[in-house]
Amino acid sequence: ETNDEFFTRFDPRAFTGGDIPWLERPKFLAIVASATLASMLAKKASGYVDGFVVEGPTAGGHNAPPRGKSIANERGEPIYGDRDQVDLEAIAVLGRPFWLAGSYGSPEQVAEARRAGAVGVQVGTAFAFCEESGLRDDLKSAIIQLCRSGEPDVMTDPLASPTGFPFKVLQLDGTASDTIVCEERERICDLGFLRQAYRKEEGTLGWRCPGERMAAYLNKGGQAEDMVGRKCVCNGLMANVGLGQIRRDGNVEPPLVTCGNDVRSIVQFLPTADATSYSAAHVIERLLSNVQSPTTA
């Protein structure tokens, strides 16, 4: 039931058999998509919120759904409107540091974020495809070439993620973004990173995922309509970093690449006109190129 409560407890002292002198509370930075949520967390969270990452709908990975009535374009992607523009002045009034995320991977956007009162930006896509990234080299090369020669297609898929949240998927041949590849893949959930809890008939806690086998999901009380269009994000993301599981029939789990809408802008980090890769240092140098140090400001 919705109001059922289940608890799991972890005591570091009991686990280690004594005090842990170096154990300190980590900073808690809440990821928010509205000033309303940020304000509620600042006032009502059970612990102190040290800051906010304000994420817009163009960011890679999972996105917050649009506020208000759900409207989709011809591809089924959710359409974001004025209500989804975050009131940064209201965020600043809370008196906590905040960072802006979602298409802030350029020196111009870094400067814009600073003017808006942010202490900095969160950047994911630019670093995802750099040399130091754990992403498979063949994927990085293909994506950099795609960004160089054409317009990469990033879809905000409302159904792909078992969580029900919109999820950014880069359309790339040979990956789970490809309908044929996805249909040929055996439907299975054996990593379970995004499973959802449910209450079993006997009152205990169970786990299910709309990306698992239909019979298993339905036997756990799931609804068939919740399974439509779901992809195994867990296995796909592990395959991205070369850890795709090998099935009994020899098939290897296909990757599922996620990135922000501004992925094409990664070409700005290539150090030369004929370069095929770039480093994390190239990203940092480029992003901070318009930022003055305190000694020169």
If you average pLDDT over residues 11-21, what whole number do you get? 84
> 194 in a domain, yes or no?
no
If you average pLDDT over residues 105-121, what whole number do you get? 97
CA proximity to 146, closest of 170, 114, 174, 123: 170
> 168 in a domain, yes or no?
no
Percentage of residues in the chain having pLDDT higher than 70: 98
pLDDT band, residue 76 (cuts 50/70/90): very high
If you average pLDDT over residues 270-277, what whole number do you get? 95
pLDDT for 1 beyond 80: no
> 260 in a domain, yes or no?
no
> 263 in a domain, yes or no?
no
pLDDT of residue 23: 77
Interior angle at CA 257, CA 265 and CA 67, nearest 5? 80
pLDDT band, residue 34 (cuts 50/70/90): very high
pLDDT averaged over every residue in the chain: 94
pLDDT of residue 267: 97
> 36 in a domain, yes or no?
yes
> 120 in a domain, yes or no?
yes
pLDDT of residue 21: 79
> 225 in a domain, yes or no?
no
Query: CB under 8 Å to 201, separation ≥6 — which residues?
Result: none
Q: What range defines the domain where residue 7 resides?
A: 1-133+269-297
pLDDT for 160 beyond 80: yes
Three-class DSSP labels, 59-103? CCCECCCCCCCCCECCCCCECCCHHHCCCHHHHHHCCCCEEEECC
> 127 in a domain, yes or no?
yes
**Domain count within the chain:** 1
Tell me the whole-structure pTM to 2 decimals: 0.91
